[in-house]
Chain A
Amino acid sequence: MPAGALRILVVDDDLSIRRALSAELGGAGYDVLEAADGAEGLRLFDAHDPDLVVTDLAMPVADGFELVAAVRRSGQTPVIVLSVRGGDADKIRALDLGADDYVVKPFSVSELLARVRAQLRRHGDAPAASLLEFPGLTLDRDRRRVVVEGREVHLTPTELAILDLLASQAGKPVTIRQIIGRVWHGAPGTSADAVRVHVGSLRKKIEPDPARPRYVVTEPWVGYRFVAEPI
């Protein structure tokens, strides 16, 4: 175990998946802890204070939802859940309970490692950085300026608030409910369609090629994700 390595807790009831994840994350330089169910996961979490948790959702003893809720109660440790295809209600539930991201089985190692890196980086960032810089896009939060490919683009206050919310959590899926809560302050009557219209016009202004969005992408049934990695 490398000294000072970041510690990841892997919780899955399937031995072969647990073993494979453990090998891959270990190979990528992380210190890995393994648990076969949510109850064991929570014991290891309490005893070893990992930097990140990767957990399956459906497990025999204490499922992933219980674990997500317990981890969130104890602090801000990032949690990535392993979801199954078609389990969109589960994904949204896990995100609303405080999970930070998900990958859908079957996923590739590179996909998971990218999500892990994004979460660890986001978590390590100083809060409320005033300048968010991505390849080709800069958001100056204090001056409320957005520059895309060297040119300033003018956003409406709503578009700017949405971009700020998504870009400040780059890599993290943000649910429609969270957007309504943060941008509209939960104003009653704000519909998912209203969010979609504003995101649509935001994308028109910031995406260099609307046919191939590189900043804001839709997460079906969930919401949106800012996908560019910060510089």
Chain B
Amino acid sequence: MALAVFLLASVVVSRLVARAQRRAEDAEARRTELEALYDLSIDLFAATNRVGALGEAAGRALRTIGASGGGLVLFRDGLSEVVVSVGVGLDARDPLLESVRRAGEAAEVPAADGTRDVYLPLAVGGRASGVLIVRGTRAERNALSSVGRLVALAVERERFLAERAHLDALKESDALKTSLLRAVSHDLRTPITSIRLGLDRLKRAPGTTGIVEDVARETERLSRRIDNLLAMARLDAGTFVPRPEPAPAADLFRATLDALPLVLAGRDVQVSVDPETPDLYVDPALTVEILANLLENAALAAPAGTPLALVAGPSPLDTTRVRIDVLDRGAGVPSAIKREATADPGDAGRTGLGLTICRSLAHALGGSVCLLDRTGGGTLARLDLPAARGTQEST
């Protein structure tokens, strides 16, 4: 009896000891897992402050949880991309990936040796951004889920870091473009200024013939072309924002004529502004640039002695627009430009830089330019621009 009691007791005790030992082992395993998770979280968040470090960290995560292999697949723009692959190569077209992404739940594939392959969806706030594949693991599902959540957060963080780096780069390149354009602008205009001042002096020197006038006129053109190209470059670089203000057409016309003293020397330019014309709402400098280009083209196209005209009026169909016409009695719209209307836009070489620039600048002002054959011969360049509200001169 005593023996039986002893035996029973020893069985109970040994079971209790075994249970305690199992619990101790479990606790030890949990502790190891927790430690691993802790290390992993440090690894993922403290050590990956740079873009691109996620891959290495995910690889270490797999080793930490005792996986024989696996990797990280991210979904980007509707495509699966293998970011990390440890051991047997991963296939981005693995059908399990797609079903895990859709369901948003983990999938397990048991193996004969008691291990399993686990596909963990990486989801932060709903949609899965990728899948962590853990091959040949014996780890608890809970531990794996924790790892999955950590890696998911790390993926989001990496995405954020990449975005921020991209924004920083954009800002930096904008600042660079702006300062570059400013330097180019200064370096081009300073010599033009001294050339002009020198030419003014040469003009008065005895014995100089028409050649100084020719050089002066070409310098004026060059100067304007530089203005055009710098304006285009600024618009293109996104570093230039037009600054519109209410501008009376008469002032824009006056500034346009002032900008072309040599091109228009000896030419008759008829200027008329319909009394009902509202002020325009435009960037005055850009508008004068467009008008100067159009008027210069008109002066080049029309025979000497024929008058040019600048005409402003309210747009007949739209009270919020102003129409400005630049007219000449030249040969009409060049056939190359007529062809261009139907084919191959952007071919500036064939139709001249001037019109292409005018179109871009007008577009930036919320307007448009078109060329028409003028009744009775010649070209009519029509500029359509926004009108200012409430500041009409006809009050």
B275 nearest in chain A by CB position: A210
- Given A203-B393, A210-B250, also A84-B189 (CB < 8 A): yes
With beta carbons under 8 angstroms apart, the residue of B198, B248, B312 that contacts A218 is B248
Which of A16, A20, A211 has the largest number of chain B CB atoms within 10 A?
A211
Instruction: For A107, list chain B residues within 8 Å (CB).
Output: 193, 196
Is the beta-carbon distance between B196 and A108 smaller than 8 angstroms? yes
A5 located at the interface, meaning its Cβ lies under 8 Å from any Cβ of chain B in the complex:
no
- Nearest Cβ in chain B — how far from A43, in angstroms? 24
A6 located at the interface, meaning its Cβ lies under 8 Å from any Cβ of chain B in the complex:
no
- Given A14-B194, A200-B395, A203-B393, also A213-B246 (CB < 8 A): no
A110 located at the interface, meaning its Cβ lies under 8 Å from any Cβ of chain B in the complex:
yes
B145 located at the interface, meaning its Cβ lies under 8 Å from any Cβ of chain A in the complex:
no
Is the beta-carbon distance between B197 and A86 smaller than 8 angstroms? no
Is the beta-carbon distance between B395 and A17 smaller than 8 angstroms? no
A interface footprint on B190-201 (CB within 8 Å = 1, 0 otherwise):
111111111011
Determine the interface band of chain A, counting residues with CB < 8 A from chain B. 35 or more
A196 located at the interface, meaning its Cβ lies under 8 Å from any Cβ of chain B in the complex:
yes
B33 located at the interface, meaning its Cβ lies under 8 Å from any Cβ of chain A in the complex:
no
- Nearest Cβ in chain A — how far from B6, in angstroms? 101
Instruction: For B390, list chain A residues within 8 Å (CB).
Output: 193
With beta carbons under 8 angstroms apart, the residue of B198, B245, B254 that contacts A221 is B245
Give the contacts of A167-199 with B (CB-CB under 8 A): 192-193, 196-197
B390 nearest in chain A by CB position: A193
- Nearest Cβ in chain B — how far from A90, in angstroms? 12
A76 located at the interface, meaning its Cβ lies under 8 Å from any Cβ of chain B in the complex:
no
Instruction: For B392, list chain A residues within 8 Å (CB).
Output: 200
- Given A20-B194, A107-B193, A197-B391, also A217-B251 (CB < 8 A): yes
Instruction: For B248, list chain A residues within 8 Å (CB).
Output: 200, 203, 218
B327 located at the interface, meaning its Cβ lies under 8 Å from any Cβ of chain A in the complex:
no
A interface footprint on B5-28 (CB within 8 Å = 1, 0 otherwise):
000000000000000000000000
Give the contacts of A5-20 with B (CB-CB under 8 A): 14, 16-17, 20
Instruction: For A85, list chain B residues within 8 Å (CB).
Output: 185, 189, 227, 285
A201 located at the interface, meaning its Cβ lies under 8 Å from any Cβ of chain B in the complex:
yes
Give the contacts of A87-114 with B (CB-CB under 8 A): 88, 105-110
Q: How far is the CA of A200 from the CA of B246 in the complex (A)?
A: 11
A interface footprint on B166-186 (CB within 8 Å = 1, 0 otherwise):
000000000000000000011
A176 nearest in chain B by CB position: B245
Is the beta-carbon distance between A218 and B247 smaller than 8 angstroms? yes
- Nearest Cβ in chain A — how far from B100, in angstroms? 57
Is the beta-carbon distance between B246 and A193 smaller than 8 angstroms? yes
- Nearest Cβ in chain B — how far from A197, in angstroms? 6
A220 located at the interface, meaning its Cβ lies under 8 Å from any Cβ of chain B in the complex:
yes
A212 located at the interface, meaning its Cβ lies under 8 Å from any Cβ of chain B in the complex:
yes
B271 located at the interface, meaning its Cβ lies under 8 Å from any Cβ of chain A in the complex:
yes
B243 nearest in chain A by CB position: A221
- Nearest Cβ in chain B — how far from A83, in angstroms? 11
B32 located at the interface, meaning its Cβ lies under 8 Å from any Cβ of chain A in the complex:
no
Is the beta-carbon distance between B284 and A221 smaller than 8 angstroms? yes
- Nearest Cβ in chain A — how far from B104, in angstroms? 54
- Given A84-B186, A197-B391, also A213-B251 (CB < 8 A): yes
Q: How far is the CA of A118 from the CA of B248 in the complex (A)?
A: 25
B315 located at the interface, meaning its Cβ lies under 8 Å from any Cβ of chain A in the complex:
no
- 7 additional contacts, CB 8 Å, given A106-B193, A212-B250? A17-B194, A88-B243, A106-B223, A109-B200, A197-B395, A212-B254, A213-B254
- The 18 sampled A-B contact pairs (Cβ below 8 Å) are A16-B194, A17-B193, A20-B201, A21-B197, A23-B201, A84-B189, A106-B189, A107-B196, A109-B197, A193-B390, A197-B391, A200-B248, A200-B393, A210-B393, A213-B250, A218-B248, A218-B284, A220-B255
* Interface residues of A, Cβ cutoff 8 Å to B: 14, 16-17, 20-21, 23-24, 27, 58, 84-86, 88, 105-110, 192-193, 196-197, 200-201, 203-204, 210-213, 217-218, 220-221
